[in-house]
Structure 1
Amino acid sequence: MLQRGETTLAEQVLSLSYGQAFVAPERRHHRSSMSVRIAEGNALSAKGASALISDSTWRNAIAKQAGDLSVRSFLADYYSTPDHWDVKNSATRVLRALNSWSYSQSGHIEGGSYVSSLSAMVYRGREAHLFHMGDTLVFRLRGAEFEQLTRDHVTDLGGYRYPSRALGLDGSLDIDYVRMPLKQGDLFLFTTRAVRGTLMPSDYVQLIRSDVSDLDAACERLAEAAQLRAAERGYGAEQFCFQLVRIDRLPAEQVDHPGRLYGDLPVPSELGVGDRLDGMEVQAVLSRTAHARVYRMRDLRSDREMVMKAPSPELSSRNAYLEHFLLQQWVVERVNSPFVARVVEPSRPRRYLYYLMGFIGGETLTEWARRHPQASLDQRLDIARQLAQAVQALHRRDVLHQQIHPDNILVDPHGQVVLADFGACHLREGDGHKKARELARQIGLSEHSAPEYALDTDVGRRSDQYSLASTIYWLLTGAVPYAQAPHQLRSHTGLEQMTYRSARTRNPEVSAELDDALRRALDPQRSLRFRRLSEFLYLLRDPRQATRSASGSPARREPASFWQGIAGILLLLLVLSWLLK
């Protein structure tokens, strides 16, 4: 199983080889999983290559699923993180998310769990990054030196040794992290705790060095020797798995940061109609803001029309914004939805910092509403549902949009809705999204922004839900739901004074159920909105469900007149009780 992965981008070359062997008794289910992934092209420079091994306890009824899941999920999610994130940030976020999911799912399973030990090593540039949980084993063979890189995290219970600090064992995860320089010829061995008590360090060195040109054969020798030694010492039938990774060639120099892959490119200067850049000609200037420029471009080779977005020239030295610009590109590249603008690859190598999107021959939702004042309720609701699916696609990638309003929504001649502006998008984080809120303020709030953006409180998916519902309310009624603009609030007392204006009073075609769904999604208190956007989308499809689900919804604030009436009745009953004594 000898494979190589290499790239020649900017003289940054990394080449790896690997081999594997797996031996297990037929009467037992496999409980271990291992894999190597070598990225290609720019991804190898930005994300590197990965090698993993996972192992679960044999008493686990779903041990094989637990091991396979942890390996597959890490590889899928790690290579989907933004290119400008460093290795530690990307891998740690992925592992913590995987741990949370595994821990929550284990509570619903009888006779098993998704707990597993995991060791993952990422090779990028001239360095290796090791992430370790539990009791899997990683060794390094450099010359004649054989060194264990991981620590055994185990707990003795009733004479049995169980892995501790493993993936999915607890709601919080403690990850061992080691960063180390690489040398050409380094060999890394991945195996499981089953090998304990079989092979000595000298055995490993001898068996691997017997014929280091064939890593599969070296792994087979290790597995056979471990199995023979276990039988000689009377050990029960065990499974053995070995994975070897060899560093064949290192890059000429270390890449400082994945984002530098594009961040080192210069920002385009101010462009006008007729100007040319990288084989494209400017057809129109669509937008000029303090942060970015948006142009409609035509590829001179293919005659294809595209939209180019580039940072504003005066911000060329602001690295913080450039990092966010790279995040915007990642959103366009990774979010796969027909309702979200898609990235277009340039026909020539890029010499400047920008990204391209497919050109949508349509108009903004503001323009559409102005030109279609007689549009039916069904037409408007169809647009609302498409927009909700666009926001849902972003949330699946843990992205907050933060700028949902009619001018950022395009409608093509066929009625297809596309969400196209990502200037304020931000990834969800665990700090109450303070950075996300500050970015939204910097870009600029609108009358559709949720109240929490003005009040320095936590923002999140329900903040996007508010902006979505406000935009839909505007689409159905031509007005906004509150007399006081939420983004102009100065204190929390203002929330209590916000009174929802029923959509039915402005558009009688809106059903009571749909109005109730909008009112809940637009609640000034973030905690009282729908827990999930899918609930709101469901009610947009079938508003009649709003009445049926009301009993399971959070308590809502009733008008003051309602409580005054209740108080009056109680007072009357009290007076009558006195009179009847």
Structure 2
Amino acid sequence: MQNGLSLSFGHAFVAPDQRRHRSSMSVQIPGNPRQLEIKGACAIIADSTWRNAIARQAGDISVRGFLADYYSTPDHWDIKTSATRVLRALNGWCYSQSRYVQGGSYISSLSAIVFRGRESFLFHMGDTLVFRLRGAEFEQLSRDHVTDLGGYRYPSRALGMDNNIDIDHMSLPLKIGDVFLFTSQAVRGTLTPTDYVHAIRQQDNDLDAACERLAGMARERAGARGYGADAFCFQLVRVEGLPSEDAGLPEQLPGQLPIPAELEAGDRIDGFLIESIISKTSRAHVYAVRDEASLRRMVMKVPSPEMSSRNPYLEHFLLQQWIGERVRSPFVVRIVTPPRPRRHLYYLMRPVEGQPLDHWLEQHPEAGIEQRLDIARQLARAVHALHRRDILHQAIRPENIMIDEHDQVVLIDFGACARRLDDDNNAALALARDGRLGMHSAPEYALGLGVSRRSDQYSLASTIYWLLTSAMPYAVAPNTLKNEQALSTLTYRRARDINPQVPAALDDALQRALSARRALRFRRLSELIQALRYATTFTDDEDDDVSSLSPDKTSETPSRQKSLRLWQGIAAALMVVLLVVVVIK
């Protein structure tokens, strides 16, 4: 009985110079057994047109982009959802980037097969070729999408050719011994099905040698017919082993787990003791728990039982865990891997020993401007860590910002997070507007306009403004606006008019980040972070001289000056030692 899926593979190119080749191929078999069983192994080929000046780059980007993004999709997505979403996103990128290329484009045909369990899943667009050899039967699995123009055959429905794309997809059962051949359209007219079968069977124990034999035969046939053979490539994948027929996934996927009933302190679930209830809403319950085996304390978030029939919400709940697992920042709450297989739907987080920012400020009204600026800088880094993963937080407000006993900032609550698909992410807008708008939400949420990372930028700047002034930047709350024309009625209140200690340069940066119209804000969050980094307070007498100081000088704190003097002293001591050694010699 086979223990699991096992594949062997080989490939060969026909090209005097690999840099001029227009095709790319790869086989990826995850080393992590769980990832192999959830996402499977993948074989892929991409081939661009011969008149494309960046043909090789187009193929490489298609192959590498698909593999990287496919294996980064959430575990609860099925194979079809993961592959098609990745291909559509990749297609949109290739299509948009082609506008900036002269003499070429990022258009390429692409075929990919995902092998998982006892099934395979084919995704295809363009004119690349995929065949299956099973016993003596050799058949083409892919369909040729080509257009004849002036005697030449060009791929149609290829990746990057149009903003919208149709993807052929099919699932096929696997058998041990199945051989899959990936090649390009250029091989048409050189080899017959009999040639393929004989070459593969004669080199049955070495698929690289079989590919080389196919390449040699194709080169010889092409030369005899008077045309070049520098566009041929072959990749073979053979199924060596499969899981037993009654074997499923060793552990249920998160999306298949039941929602636990409402829990109370003292209840137990999957080896965890419920110690207390942190919060309960109509959407989710949050508990403080302790692992009874390791005695480790954690926070458990569970969907509300009332949400068991709300598939869109459950889809997003699973996305929350996926987001938390991939963001690595000391300023963002960490997801904890369960120590045991789960039997219910929930996820675990590292506990934060502290209090929300609004409670912290109530207890520390004497906190100075520098201490508040330090909190603002940490918060900005937390948001930046999410944006680097193309994630919108959408709920940046004081109650979701924890301050621990060491004044460390931790941004919590993935409840409104969404993946940034584009600058008009309607799904993210709907998610955030579902009863989650607050005083710090950007105006576009209330008005139903598109949202983007600049929407998070507004919420971050609004929270920082409140942190520094204990007030709001506008007399009218943006979340109460009724139409887009009302944006012109918003007038920014200078932070320095409320708190003179706020640096003028930072006030200017906050004013831009808090622009009522999204397009007028900073293009990148790093520009606001830069303003926070160099924010230094001055007395009123010094304000007139601030503009003459460089950023490096204005950012020198006493601790930095002390460090500088220390290193100057060390350098002087080393110079004295060097002079003594020279004199002695």
For 2:368 and 2:149, the matched residues in 1 are separated by 68
Report the counterpart of residue 557 of structure 2 in structure 1: none
Deviation at 1:405, TM superposition (A): 0.4
Query: What corresponds to 2:312 in structure 1?
Result: 320
After superposition, give the CA deviation of every residue in 1:381-436 in whole Å (9 maximum; x if it has no partner): 23222222222232333322221101111223333322110111122346943333
TM-score by length of 1: 0.82
Task: Verify the 8 A CA contact 2:251 2:341 in the aligned structure 1.
Answer: no
Could you tell me whether the CA contact under 8 Å between 1:280 and 1:299 is conserved in 2? yes
From 261, 264, 272, the equivalent of 2:253 is: 261
Q: Which amino acid aligns with 1:130?
A: L
- SS of residue in 1 equivalent to 2:286: strand
Is the contact made by 2:218 and 2:229 (CA closer than 8 Å) also made in structure 1?
no
Deviation at 1:162, TM superposition (A): 5.1
Counterparts of 1:386 and 1:252 in 2: how far apart (Å)? 52
What are the Cα deviations for residues 91-122 of structure 1, in whole angstroms up to 9, with x where unaligned?
23323333344445455556655443322222
Counterpart of 1:370 in structure 2 is: 362
CA distance in 2, matches of 1:75, 1:253: 29
**Where does the alignment leave 5 or more consecutive residues of structure 1 unmatched?**
1-5, 549-581
State the AA in 2 paired with 1:249. Answer: L
Q: Does 1:249 align with 2:219?
A: no
**Which residue pairs with 2:347 in the alignment?**
355
The residue number in structure 2 matching 1:419 is 411
Counterpart of 1:76 in 2: which secondary structure? helix
After superposition, the Cα gap between the structure-2 partners of 1:266 and 1:38, relative to the gap in structure 1 and judged at 3 Å, is same
Match for 1:422: what amino acid? F
Query: Partner letter of residue 393 of structure 1?
Result: A
Determine whether 1:177 maps to 2:163: no
Residue of structure 1 in register with 2:25 after alignment: 34
The answer to whether the 8 Å contact 1:167/1:173 transfers is no
Work out whether 1:51 is the aligned partner of 2:62.
no
Pairing 1:199–2:191 present: yes
Change beyond 3 A, Cα 1:511–1:260: same
Indicate how the Cα distance of structure 1 residues 112 and 456 shifts in structure 2: closer, same or farther if over 3 A, else same.
closer
Q: What is the distance in 2 between the residues matched to 1:429 and 1:495?
A: 26
Q: For residue 520 of structure 1, what is the aligned residue in structure 2? A: 512
Q: Mean Cα displacement is larger for which, 157-166 or 211-220? A: 157-166
1:130-149 aligned within 5 A: 130-149=122-141
AA of the residue aligned to 1:479: A
Which deviates more from structure 2 when the two are superposed, residues 501-510 or residues 189-198?
189-198
The Cα offsets for residues 1-38 of structure 1, whole Å up to 9 and x where unpaired, read as: xxxxx997xxxx54433332334325863433211123
Q: How does 1:84-483 map to 2 (within 5 A)?
A: 84-106=76-98, 113-154=105-146, 163-168=155-160, 170=161, 172-185=163-176, 186-210=178-202, 212-247=204-239, 248-249=241-242, 252=245, 261-429=253-421, 432-483=424-475
Distance 1:27 1:296 in 2: 58
Structure 1 residue 18 corresponds to structure 2 residue 9: yes
- Over the aligned positions, Cα root-mean-square deviation in angstroms equals 3.3
Q: Which moved more, 1:499-508 or 1:242-251?
A: 242-251
Letter in 1 for 2:320: Q
Q: Distance in 1 between matches of 2:236 and 2:111?
A: 13
Matched residue type, 2:71: Y
Residue identity matched to 1:22: F
Once residues 454 and 352 of structure 2 are traced to their aligned partners in structure 1, the CA distance between those partners, rounded to angstroms, is 28
Shift of 1:301: 2.8
**Structure 2 alignment gaps of length 5 or more:** 537-545, 549-585
Q: CA 1:88/1:266 → structure 2, altered by over 3 Å: closer, same or farther? A: closer
Q: What letter matches 2:165 in structure 1?
A: D
Amino acid of the residue matched to residue 457 of structure 1?
Answer: L
Using the TM superposition, give the Cα deviation of residue 77 of structure 1 relative to its aligned residue in structure 2, in angstroms. Answer: 0.8
TM-score by length of 2: 0.82
Q: Matched residue of 1:281: which SS?
A: strand
Identity %: 63
> Secondary structure, in 3 states, of the residue corresponding to 2:127?
coil
- Kept in 1, the 8 Å contact 2:423–2:451? The answer is no
Q: What one-letter code is carried by the residue in structure 1 that aligns with 2:270?
A: D
Which shifted more, 341-350 or 322-331? 341-350
Cα gap change, 1:282 to 1:207, in 2 (>3 Å): same
1:555 equivalent in structure 2: none
Structure 1 counterpart of 2:494, one-letter code: S
Q: Match for residue 558 of structure 1?
A: none
Letter in 2 for 1:226: A
Q: What are the Cα deviations for residues 114-156 of structure 1, in whole angstroms up to 9, with x where unaligned?
A: 4433222223455433333443221222343322233444566
- Check if 1:489 corresponds to 2:489: no
Cα shift at 1:329: 0.6
- Cα contact 1:339–1:418 (8 A) shared by 2: yes
Aligned residue in 1 for 2:583? none
SS in 1 for 2:180: strand
Deviations 1:326-346 (A, max 9, x none): 011111112233322222112
| Amino acid of the structure 2 residue aligned with 1:44 | L
SS at match of 1:454: helix
SS in 2 for 1:530: coil
- For residue 498 of structure 1, the aligned residue among 476, 490, 507 is 490
